[in-house]
Amino acid sequence: MSNLEENIIDNILECFAKLGYTNTAINFYYPITSLLVLLDCDKEHLDDAIDDFKKRAADTLGNITIEELTSERGRYEIVIPISGVEWVHNNYKPTVFLESFISEIQKPNRTLEDMVGMFRSFSQDIIIDMLKDDMWAISFRDKTIDKYIYLIEQNEFGLQYHRFTSREFEDIKNT
């Protein structure tokens, strides 16, 4: 399974954890930098890598479309058809950690410290990168629990988060 296919499946499972399963197509938006990392290619070979990926993933994710947005160059829309969403639903389930994370972060009045406590309920061996007082990146050393880095920001609206692969996070930190 390719990195992009695994990432798409993980994102679909994240949708299931947040909203439940629905028999509809799902759209995701990826910056070109993420696609280059997940397809392990450079800009010159991106179109070929996308075509190859779509062919390889057709048996599982269906006839997906991946197109650069004309209104926002450098950003790609990936559409997973109903058949692909259903295949993920029939073959995968969100992890206990992901379900706990989504449940906890959606509760009112949660803090960054509460989220650290939730991570520690799965393992004491976590990595916390305090980027700002109100923005922390949290992950597990043991990637079998969860392989992503969760960038969590606390603001007047509560907690918001983004999930990144290690390589995507390093690219973001270095820009």
pLDDT tens track for 161-173: 999 999 888 877 7
CB atoms within 10 A of CB 109: 7
Residue 22 and residue 74 in one domain: yes
Residue-wise burial string across 121-153, b where 16 or more C-beta atoms lie within 10 A, e elsewhere: ebeeeeeeeeeeeeebbbbbeeeebbebbbbbb
Number of structural domains, the chain? 2
| Per-position DSSP letters for 35-86, written without gaps between them | HHHHHT--GGGHHHHHHHHHHHHHHHH-S-EEEE-SSSTTEEEEEE-HHHHH
Domain boundary among 91, 117, 143: 91
- In this prediction the pTM is 0.91
Residue 68 and residue 101 in one domain: no
Residue 26 and residue 71 in one domain: yes
- pLDDT tens-digit readout, 19-69: 999 999 999 999 999 999 999 999 999 999 999 999 999 999 999 999 999
